[in-house]
Amino acid sequence: MLTESHQNYFELLGLPQKFAIDSTVLDQNYRRLQSEVHPDRFAAAASADRLRSMQLATEANEAYRTLKNPTARARYLLHLQGMEVNEESNTVMPAEFLMLQMEWRESIEDAKAEHDVAALEKLLKKAQQEARHLQDSLGTLLDNADLDEAAGTVRKLSFIDKICSDIGQDIIRLED
């Protein structure tokens, strides 16, 4: 019989419940868990065991996707502490960050209009650098239980993740 689900994604994947995780260990633990619960291993088992293996495999996939992505991992850590980030409804940002967003969006539009892939790649690097800076601060904020500030940082990271995705799509379109 398969064991029941763990309390949270960190426990499921055998990791400490903190922002800074070892991605190699995450990958290894995920592969090990998937091999243990993969539905193919339970093809001849009782239907309850087959169903449970599918549930655990699905949960392992979701846990891995969440913990692999720094923004999602921080959002999940906040959730575990009872703090919901609510990016869709809470869009309050510091003025300087709003100005940065506007500058990036204008630069993206200019680069697209000029079909300037190099400018888009430069913007992408700049956004990724800003994301790394914010991710570095998140560990400290979460470790010190500064949940409001951490939630604000997650909202900023969500924006940067979106802008990086948009720039990547723009580069692909321009290169085609």
Rg of the chain (C-alpha set): 20
Q: How far apart are CA 36 and CA 34, in angstroms?
A: 5
Residue extents of the structural domains in the chain: 9-68, 95-175
Per-residue pLDDT of the chain (176 residues; tens, 9 = 90+): 345 555 799 999 999 999 999 999 999 999 999 988 876 777 767 778 778 878 888 899 999 999 999 999 999 999 999 988 877 777 778 899 999 999 999 999 999 999 999 999 999 999 999 999 999 999 899 988 899 999 999 999 999 999 999 999 999 999 88
145: left (phi over 0), alpha (psi -120 to 50) or beta: left
Tell me the CATH architecture of domain 95-175: Up-down Bundle (1.20)
What would the pLDDT profile of 103-114 be if each residue is shown by its tens digit?
999 999 999 999
User: Class of 9-68 per CATH?
Assistant: mainly alpha
Three-state SS for 21-50 is: CCHHHHHHHHHHHHHHHCHHHHCCCCHHHH
Say which residue the tokens 């309850």 belong to: 48
Residue 99, helix vs strand vs coil? helix
Q: Would you state the structure tokens that stand for residue 126, as one six-digit string? A: 């700049």
Q: Please state, as a whole number, how many other Cβ atoms lie within 10 Å of the Cβ of residue 34.
A: 14
What would the pLDDT profile of 129-158 be if each residue is shown by its tens digit?
999 999 999 989 998 889 999 999 999 999
Q: How far apart are CA 110 and CA 148, in angstroms?
A: 35
